Amino acid sequence: MWEEFKTIAWEFFAGQGKAIAWSIALLAIGILVISIITKQVRKQSLKSRKIDNSAAPFVTSIVSLLAYVALFLLLVWTLGFSTESIIAGFASVALAIALGLQNTLASLANGILLIFTSPFKAGDFVSIGDTSGTVKEIKLFSVKLVTIDNLTIIIPNNTVFGSTIINYSKMPLRRIDLVIPAAYDVDVAKLKALVFGIVNMDSRIAKDPAPFFRLTEYGKNSLNFTLRAWTESAIYWDVRFDLLENIIAVLRANDIRIPYEQLDVHMVDGQKGD
């Protein structure tokens, strides 16, 4: 029996078994090589100046997918099967999958467009449709945002390209627009001097473009002045909030009234004979 077993084992190994053994060895080596390649691709993607860090997982996923497809075809060829028939079968299956996963494939295609058009990068604060947040990662089929209240939102790539994208971090400077109401009896020259004094004392506000402060509207209850000042996008909100607090403090210290709507009610005695 032992001799018969050795004969059968040898015949199997000399025939199809040899191909299977080679395929197993090739599979192990292939997985190891793909792992090394994907790590290197990710490393180089993170170092590259042409590819944003948020897109590194996307690029790595594409390379990994293509490498595994190539490894599969190589294994099929090693086992002696016709790769042409396999490719034809893949094409048929791919067509069926494409028809069933149109939205998913659209997200994949739009993900590729995101990489090359770069409307935003990791760390940018953006609005995509009605959603605002900081970009954390551009994935194979989606973009991950973290909102200001620390919620993680995943948006499909086809939805990203189907929405209006506002990138608040793209430009180095951003303009602050404030409307400052004052009573009609205000000393305009004094008010302008006080506000410009606050603006000029803040080193975070850019000198070029120059700050703007002028009377822009005669309101129902007030004269409305508009302040426009430029600052770095990264500190926009800090500067805006500081301006609001400093301006109200200076106006109150100098007895400049900020009017508000009020309603005077007159009581009329409706008794007959009065």
CATH code: domain of residue 149: 2.30.30.60
Q: Where are the alpha helices (DSSP H) in the chain?
A: 2-12, 18-47, 56-78, 83-100, 102-117, 157-161, 188-201, 236-253
Q: Given a cut of 60, is residue 253 above it in pLDDT?
A: yes
pTM recorded for the entire structure: 0.59
Give the pLDDT mean for 51-80.
Answer: 72
Domain count, the chain: 3
Q: For residue range 200-240, list pLDDT tens digits in order.
A: 999 999 999 999 999 999 988 899 999 999 999 989 999 99
In this structure, are 177 and 194 located in the same domain? yes
Predicted pLDDT of residue 229: 97
Cβ(141)–Cβ(208) below 8 Å:
no
Query: From the CB of residue 47, how many other CB atoms can be counted at a distance below 10 Å?
Result: 10
pLDDT at 130 over 80: yes
Residues 177, 163 within the same domain:
no
Phi-psi region of 273 (alpha: psi -120 to 50; beta: other; left: phi over 0): left
* Coil, strand or helix at 12: helix
122 and 182 both lie in a single domain: no
C-alpha 33 chain-centroid distance: 32
Residue 31: predicted pLDDT: 84
> Which of the pair, 69 or 199, is modelled with greater confidence?
199
pLDDT bracket for residue 62 (50, 70, 90): confident
Full residue range of the structural domain in which residue 17 is found? 12-100
Contact 146, 63 (CB under 8 A): no
The answer to whether position 244 is within a domain reads yes
199 and 121 share a domain?
Answer: no
Highest mean pLDDT among 14-18, 65-69, 122-126: 122-126
pLDDT in tens, 139-188: 778 899 999 999 999 998 888 888 899 999 889 999 999 999 999 999 99
80 in any annotated domain? yes
Based on the fold, state whether residues 185 and 223 are members of the same structural domain: yes
- Whether 23 and 94 map to the same domain: the answer is yes
- Rounded average pLDDT over 188-196: 95
CATH number at residue 215: 3.30.70.100
Question: Is 96 found in the same domain as 27?
Answer: yes
Q: Note whether 177 and 154 are same-domain residues.
A: no
Q: Which residue has the tokens 């009065």?
A: 274
What is the pLDDT, as a whole number, of residue 142?
85
| Domain co-membership, 94 together with 136 | no
Query: Residue written as tokens 């993170």?
Result: 46
Which band of pLDDT confidence, cut at 50, 70 and 90, is reported for residue 19? low
For residue 211, the model assigns a pLDDT of 96
Residue 17, domain CATH: 1.10.287.1260
Tell me whether residue 110 is in a domain: no
Last residue of a domain, one of 48, 75, 100: 100
Higher pLDDT, 23 or 4: 23
195: confidence class by pLDDT, cuts 50, 70, 90: very high
Same domain, 162 and 177: no
Please say whether the beta carbons of 62 and 114 come within 8 A.
no
